[in-house]
């Protein structure tokens, strides 16, 4: 399949290109597009044949439901009831990095919801994404635009790397602002539960309803008896080709431990990458060292995380040693992705 690639930065200047991609969606095709979280791979959410193409292009397991993306806060055509709390949450956080789960209407095919009676809905905060949805006239089902299991793409070049030849269009230009996927909030459970942490934090959501809690399955996934409720969260995920090890604990000891590990791996002739922080990046003599950013600026760290993992793959390192981040606010989302990338391979010191 030939993929048309459009590097576009503004809706006004590239309207024709967006109209072309929207036409492809209407015709049952697939389009990778930017959002403020990560790039998405979209198709008409109401067309089961179109949705099947997403699963095929990504190599995604069939039991993993898709999020539908809308360009308006009015979602009554797609869900059975917009509950009072859903209304409040939509008003406060949309457009933005928050997906809500509600009971679906039958217009949403089973292929989109992977057979569940519920559907995740989100209104992204990105002009190109909103224009694409609006012009196609349908909700767009879109998982992250990566081959299943790989780190999500936060940049058009990473979409091209994974999806060139597998989809009809790839559009976009800017790096995604957040860099981690949306928060998923299940509004069908009591209390409402965060199934995946993201840019809209528990603290922010509690301002609307203080009963909102985090799914137990996210807190300690090592425990086999506690399963995460979002089907996608059970898969090994966000993984670079290299083995990832997180070093967690006191900072001075973390630095010492990483330096020791680098020495040991060098003796084994392994190529080592380090995910450091601004104030530690000059301390390591590894094959490749990259800073995730300033540890007091968690937004910056989130923005850099997936791209840093992919850069380590570009350098073909065998092992990635990573500093850990404080598990607060968006730091919970960062550590959630990092732990999954590491397959929970954590050295506590």
- Alpha-carbon span 116 to 261, nearest angstrom: 45
Q: Please give the backbone phi and psi of residue 185, each rounded to the nearest 5 degrees, phi first.
A: -120, 120
Token pair 């503004």: residue: 10
Binding mask 108-127 for ligand TXA (x = CB under 6 A): -----x--x-xxx-x-x---
- Alpha-carbon span 65 to 186, nearest angstrom: 14
Subset of residues 109 to 168 that bind Mg ion, contact rule: CB under 5 A: 144
Residues binding Mg ion: what is the number (CB under 5 A)? 1
Residue 331's CB is within 10 A of a number of other CB atoms, namely: 18
Select from 137-145, 265-273, 286-294, 326-334 the region that touches ligand TXA (CB under 6 A).
137-145
- Alpha-carbon span 265 to 296, nearest angstrom: 30
Subset of residues 230 to 259 that bind ligand TXA, contact rule: CB under 6 A: 230-233
Smallest distance from the beta carbon of 268 to ligand TXA, in angstroms? 35
Angle at 311 between CA 161 and CA 200, to 5 degrees: 90
Instruction: Say how far residue 346 (Cα) sits from the centre of its chain.
Output: 21
Smallest distance from the beta carbon of 259 to ligand TXA, in angstroms? 35
- Alpha-carbon span 311 to 67, nearest angstrom: 28
317 touches, from ligand TXA, Mg ion, none (C-beta below 5 to 8 Å by class):
none
Q: Is 95 an interacting residue with respect to ligand TXA (CB under 6 A)?
A: no
230 touches, from ligand TXA, Mg ion, none (C-beta below 5 to 8 Å by class):
ligand TXA
Binding mask 162-201 for ligand TXA (x = CB under 6 A): -------------------xx-x----------xx-----
Subset of residues 48 to 67 that bind ligand TXA, contact rule: CB under 6 A: 64-67
Binding mask 194-233 for ligand TXA (x = CB under 6 A): -xx---------------------------------xxxx
For ligand TXA, give the closer residue by CB, 18 or 319: 18
Q: Please give the backbone phi and psi of residue 273, each rounded to the nearest 5 degrees, phi first.
A: -110, 150
For ligand TXA, give the closer residue by CB, 143 or 197: 143
CA-based diameter of the chain, in Å? 61
Subset of residues 298 to 317 that bind ligand TXA, contact rule: CB under 6 A: none
Closest C-alpha to 211, from 195, 187, 181: 187
The contacts of residue 58 (CB under 8 Å, 6+ apart) are 41, 143, 146, 147, 148
Pairing label, strands 193-196, 98-103 = unpaired
136 touches, from Mg ion, ligand TXA, none (C-beta below 5 to 8 Å by class):
none
Contact (Cβ atoms closer than 8 angstroms) between residue 67 and residue 141: yes
3-class SS of residue 305: helix
Q: Is 99 an interacting residue with respect to ligand TXA (CB under 6 A)?
A: yes
Judged by the rule CB under 6 A, the positions of this chain that interact with ligand TXA are 35, 37-38, 40, 64-67, 99, 101, 113, 116, 118-120, 122, 124, 142-144, 181-182, 184, 195-196, 230-233
Judged by the rule CB under 5 A, the positions of this chain that interact with Mg ion are 144
């Amino acid at each position: 399949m030939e993929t048309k690639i459009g590097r576009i930065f503004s809706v006004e200047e590239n309207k024709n290109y967006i109209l072309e991609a929207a036409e492809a969606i209407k015709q049952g095709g697939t389009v990778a597009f930017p959002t403020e979280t990560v790039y998405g791979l979209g198709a008409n959410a109401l067309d089961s044949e179109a949705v099947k193409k997403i699963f095929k292009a990504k190599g995604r397991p069939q039991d993993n439901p898709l999020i539908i993306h809308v360009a308006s806060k009015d979602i009554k055509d797609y869900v059975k009831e917009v509950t009072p709390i859903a209304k409040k949450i939509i008003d406060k956080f949309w457009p933005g990095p928050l997906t809500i789960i509600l009971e679906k209407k039958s217009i949403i095919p089973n292929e989109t919801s992977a057979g569940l009676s519920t559907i995740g809905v989100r209104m992204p905060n990105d002009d190109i994404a909103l224009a694409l949805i609006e012009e196609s006239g349908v909700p767009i089902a879109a998982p992250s635009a990566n081959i299943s299991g790989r780190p999500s793409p936060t940049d058009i070049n990473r979409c091209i790397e994974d999806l060139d030849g597998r989809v009809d269009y790839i559009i976009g230009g800017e790096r995604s602002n957040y860099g981690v996927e949306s928060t998923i909030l299940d509004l069908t459970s009591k209390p409402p539960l965060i199934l995946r942490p993201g840019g809209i934090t528990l603290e922010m959501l509690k301002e609307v309803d203080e009963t909102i809690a985090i799914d137990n399955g996210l807190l300690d996934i090592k425990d086999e008896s506690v399963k995460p409720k979002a089907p996608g969260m059970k898969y090994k995920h966000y993984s670079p080709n290299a083995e990832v090890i997180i070093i967690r604990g006191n900072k001075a000891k973390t630095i010492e431990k990483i330096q020791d590990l680098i020495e040991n791996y060098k003796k084994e002739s392994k190529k080592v990458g380090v995910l450091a922080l601004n104030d530690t990046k000059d301390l390591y003599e590894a094959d490749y060292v990259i800073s995730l950013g300033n540890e007091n600026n968690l937004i910056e760290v989130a923005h850099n995380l997936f791209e840093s993992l992919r850069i380590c793959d570009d350098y073909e390192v065998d092992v990635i040693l990573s500093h850990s981040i404080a598990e607060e606010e968006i730091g919970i989302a960062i550590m959630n992705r990092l732990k999954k990338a590491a397959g929970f391979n954590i050295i506590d010191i």
